[in-house]
Amino acid sequence: MLRLIFVCTGNICRSPMAEGLMRHRLAAEGQDASGITSMGTHGVVDAPASLPAQQVCQQHGVDISGHRARSLVGEEIQEADMILCMEPMHKQMVGAYFPWHRDRIYLLGAWPGKETRKSIVRDPMGQSMAVYQQVFADIQRHLDRICQML
């Protein structure tokens, strides 16, 4: 079973979309998706995914309505095969708190290659629905690439 954690700031937009999409893909392939999760560096604990994030996911057949935000969970990070962050700040923060796992912490937009400004998955919070749709498309594109290599 793949143990994969997606990390963003509040765990209410980007990382729940990535988690939901990855779970959806694995389930469609008949694979175990129970090891796929998400967290926030400043998680708005127990908050649902933002309504626009839920709506964009729903448009693509992905249900994240049951998601509840949470902060970093050390035990799960220690057990993760890979931690995929949305921005360099997230990667640095997770690495600072869990330095012995730096070899498993990457930017979603860069793994397994070199990080550039294009590696950042921007935060759609408070933006238009079009921005949420673009962020979903970016996450989907990155997961397309990553899933081929896993």
- Alpha carbon 139 to chain centroid, angstroms: 8
**Annotated catalytic residue: which of 13, 14, 85, 104?**
14
24-29 own/partner pairs: CB under 8 Å, 24+ apart: 24/61, 24/62, 25/143, 25/147, 26/2
Edge to edge, the sheet with strand 4-8 lists 36-40, 4-8, 82-85, 105-107
Tell me, yes or no, if 8 is annotated catalytic.
Answer: yes
Tell me, yes or no, if 14 is annotated catalytic.
Answer: yes
Tell me, yes or no, if 32 is annotated catalytic.
Answer: no
**Annotated catalytic residue: which of 70, 102, 123, 145?**
123
**Helices first, then strands: H and E counts in the chain:** 5, 4
Catalytic residues: 8, 14, 123
